[in-house]
Amino acid sequence: MVCVGIEPRKNAHICYYRNASVTQDAFEETMENPNRVTRCLKVSQVLSRVGDKWLLLIIMLLREKSHRFGELKSGINGISQRMLTLTLRNMERDGIVIRTVTPSIPPRVDYELTQMGLSLANPAKALGDWAAQNLAEISSAQARYDAQTHRI
């Protein structure tokens, strides 16, 4: 079973699983097991974080070498200083990047991927490659959809 979603409810969370063979009894057993629910919540949080566009773009820049904050900011079109700061803090907290401060005036701060961060670089690159390879098809599908929804 793979957790594919969480729905907050009063005093509880409902996990949705993707597996056609899951019976109602198995689902209820899962819901009664707080360890599975906790794990499902944590997996959902991790997927939410690593699915963030800014995180993926930062990983793509850091997979080759470490960068200073300003280099990351200039290398990522459209990211605000605040969003870059928040994303880097979350990545550091999650163990994806290491922040190294070199005492100087002004202080030099470098960011680099941890081993775990490097293990995320290939899937991130694959996702970026997929997006680039399918841009034309996605654009066509969007145009067809938009044309259909405007006719209704």
User: How are strands ordered across the β-sheet holding 108-113?
Assistant: 67-68, 108-113, 97-102
Looking at residue 30, its pLDDT comes to: 55
The answer to whether 108 touches 101, Cβ cutoff 8 Å, is yes
Render 11-31 in DSSP notation, one character per residue.
TEEEEEEE-TT--HHHHHHHH
Residues 44 and 101 in one domain: no
Instruction: Return the H-helix or E-strand segment holding 149.
Output: helix 135-151
Rounded to two decimals, the pTM is 0.69
CA contacts within 13 A on the Cβ side of 49: 19
With 70 as the cut, is the pLDDT of residue 14 above it? no
The whole-number average pLDDT for the span 41-45 is 77
**Number of domains the chain is built from:** 2
The whole-number average pLDDT for the span 23-31 is 53
With 90 as the cut, is the pLDDT of residue 4 above it? no
Query: Would 151 be classed as within a structural domain?
Result: no
- The pLDDT tens digits of the residues spanning 78-132 come to 999 999 999 999 999 999 999 999 999 988 999 999 999 999 999 989 988 999 9
Residues 144, 126: Cα–Cα separation, whole Å: 26
Q: What are the backbone angles phi and psi of residue 18, rounded to the nearest 5°?
A: -100, 100
Residues 140 and 66 in one domain: yes
Residues 36 and 79 in one domain: no
With 70 as the cut, is the pLDDT of residue 134 above it? yes
Instruction: Print the domain residue range for 62.
Output: 53-145
- Token look-up 């944590």 returns 42
Residues 86 and 123 in one domain: yes
Q: Which residue has the higher pLDDT, 142 or 31?
A: 142
Residues 43 and 67 in one domain: no
How far apart, in Å, are the Cα atoms of 127 and each of 7, 50, 59, 134?
A: 26, 12, 12, 11
Looking at residue 25, its pLDDT comes to: 52
Q: Mean pLDDT score of the chain, rounded to an integer?
A: 82
With 60 as the cut, is the pLDDT of residue 33 above it? yes
